[in-house]
Amino acid sequence: MKFSKLYAPTTKDAPKDATLPSHQYLIRAGFVSQAGSGLYNFLPMGKIVFDKIKAIVKEEMDETGAQEIQMGVVTSADLWKQSGRYDAFGKELCRFKDRKENEFVLGPTHEEVVVDIVRNRINSYKQLPLHLYQITTKFRDEARPRFGLLRGREFTMKDGYSFHEDEVCMKKEFAVMEATYTKIFTRLGLDFRAVEADSGAIGGSGSKEFMVLADNGEDDIVVCEKCSYAANIEAAKRAKKTTTIEAPIADLAKFKTPNMKTIEDVCQFLRVDAFYSIKAVVKKAIYIDKEEIVVFFIRGCDTLQETKAINACGALDLVDAELDEMQKVGLHAGFIGPVGLECVKFYIDKELREEKNLVCGANEEDYHWVGVSMFNFKEERYADLVAVNAGDTCACCGESLYVTKGIEVGHIFQLGQKYAKAMGATFLDKNGKAQPFFMGCYGIGVSRLVAVMIEASHDEKGCIWNKQTAPYLLDIIISNVKDEAQNAYATAIYEALTCEKYAVLLDDRNERFGFKIKDYELIGLPYALIVGKELEEGFVEIVERKTLEKTVVKQEDALSKIRELLA
């Protein structure tokens, strides 16, 4: 490709809201253009990268025997009502009506549609297993579209769905997909981990996320220093927290604690370590048909993990409760405790089960209990509610855990029979009995990966592409296009490599050398060949983008040297 013909509108300035390198460079290097909040167009170079990633995903998926299909972006609302997700999916689901008042949704994921595709068509266990996948557009009306391609509203996902006669087969395919995803992300050259995950709105039992380790990741991942345990903080487990600090042994008694509304105040006043106190976190839970105040009790030294709390109460979302909302249901903010609490729904962190000698609010203005024992609560009240912290103990091996940042690039789920049951999709098993399918589903954020490649590899000058995903492998820069010798030499190399099917760029623009090299560094192709003044003495320069190291080579050796590098 000749740069003079390439549509790659590079700019010095990034949009104001572009805080991450990938967002800045994708726009500045002319890979994408923004069309609206969370909406992006791919320009020629962005499209090449996108297609290269897509090709790797497709190759590895096809290798497993999964079959590619293409489902519509617009899906009938009726299917979503059958699964129950028309309401449960919340505001991310974009619903609309046509001129005849028929209801539709823009597919944020395609479990419903794929179940409808096989329903009444796969009738016997003999036709199983089956794995169908697609690489297409999704739409999610994200609350906070941001970070460019990392969190768009319209984005491209590879989503695969497998159907099985039993749990064993479903788990087998899950393992195949885990191995396949590992291959895909390894081929892309990414530093990643498969971690235990929360299943979110998709539902089902076991699920694993593939996280690329990156400072700018939105996800916190908990990793063990010793064993292989790794989990998203939303699903992370730890060994029960203990302390060497002596317990404040006391009989149950009510203490006046005037105006002491925080854990710190109360603990200081009563001379108790926060470990032995119970903190009340009050939230407003949003359900499909109602809102309600819910209280979560955790140790004073812990923090509430929101996703775990949402799972415990089954809400769509949790928001902070206002003071007047708490008062209205009879709560005394700052003095809330589980003992004798009746006015609201509440949950207790499971690590508090059967603990003794605790301090908690007395549900009365200016009073706290001391010497509280946690024996008389119903089992349903207990749930895993707390965020695992760096330094907590690994439940698998007893070593220390640490927390790091990751970007989710893939998520694989064991769905079980959830969708098939809800939508009445059955097959006849070996005994001739109708059974709902066991399903798995497997997603990869293909457009997100375009940005992830940059997050994982860039410097202060621009992108640093690897050969697997670079839009072109080499930039042949003609220092002065008016110099005939430079032109002739560069063009000959360009034509030779193009003829050999190497994707190379020839910067033949009538621009200053400094301008061209800046563009080269910004776009970040793996190598550049600089054809400049030194050609008169018979020399050219090869630049490696990653290190920006320059190697001077004889003009007659350049081609073979480049072939070696690009191979």
Footprint of ligand ATP on this chain (CB under 6 A)? 109, 140, 142, 151-152, 155, 157, 200, 202, 408-411, 443, 445, 447-448
C-alpha distances (whole Å) from 234 to each of 187, 340, 405 are: 28, 30, 13
CB of 401 to ligand ATP, least distance (A): 21
Locate 380 and state its tokens: 């349903």
Please say which residue, 28 or 140, places its beta carbon nearer to ligand ATP: 140
Closest C-alpha among 256, 251, 252, 227 to residue 239: 227
CA atoms within a 13 Å half-sphere pointing along the CA-CB vector of 312? 29
Q: How far is the CB of 45 from ligand ATP (least distance, A)?
A: 19
| Shortest CB 207 distance to ligand ATP, Å | 8
Which CB, 195 or 540, lies closer to ligand ATP?
A: 195
β-partners of residue 414 are: 440
Q: Are 399 and 225 in contact (CB under 8 A)?
A: yes
Nearer to ligand ATP, 111 or 302 (CB): 111
In terms of CB distance, is 64 or 136 closer to ligand ATP? 136
Distance spanning both ends of the chain, measured CA to CA: 19
Nearest to residue 444, comparing CAs of 143, 194, 71, 219?
A: 194
The sign of the CA dihedral 198, 449, 20, 139 is: negative
Number of residue whose CB is nearest ligand ATP:
445
Nearer to ligand ATP, 103 or 142 (CB): 142
Residue with tokens 């104001």: 16
Quote the tokens at residue 9: 């509108």
Here the tokens at position 168 are 């064993």
Nearer to ligand ATP, 409 or 529 (CB): 409
- In one-letter notation, the amino acid at residue 529 is L
CB of 152 to ligand ATP, least distance (A): 4
Shortest distance, CB of residue 202 to ligand ATP, whole angstroms? 6
Nearer to ligand ATP, 202 or 315 (CB): 202
Cβ neighbour number for residue 346 with a 10 Å cutoff: 20
Nearer to ligand ATP, 44 or 200 (CB): 200
Peptide bond into 44 cis (omega under 30): no
Question: Cβ of residue 201: shortest distance to ligand ATP, in angstroms?
Answer: 7
- Say if CB 332 and CB 367 are below 8 A apart: no
- CA atoms in the 13 A half-sphere facing the CB of 357: 12
The distance of closest approach from Cβ of residue 320 to ligand ATP in the complex, given in angstroms and rounded to an integer, is 21
Smallest distance from the beta carbon of 480 to ligand ATP, in angstroms? Answer: 43
Query: What residues contact residue 130 under an 8 Å CB cut-off, 6+ apart?
Result: 67, 118, 122, 162, 163
Residue 11: CB minimum distance to ligand ATP, A: 24
Of residues 107 and 436, the one with the C-beta less far from ligand ATP = 107
Say how far apart CA 15 and CA 327 lie, in whole Å.
45
Residue with tokens 């048909």: 289
Q: Which is nearer to ligand ATP, 257 or 447 (CB)?
A: 447
How far out from the chain centre does Cα 28 lie? 24
Q: How many CB atoms lie within 10 A of CB 255?
A: 17
Q: How far is the CB of 151 from ligand ATP (least distance, A)?
A: 5
Dist. CA 253–CA 269, nearest whole Å: 15
Please, are residues 545 and 528 in contact by the beta-carbon 8 Å criterion? Answer: yes
Shortest approach of ligand ATP to residue 200 CB, angstroms? Answer: 5
Q: Which is nearer to ligand ATP, 155 or 382 (CB)?
A: 155
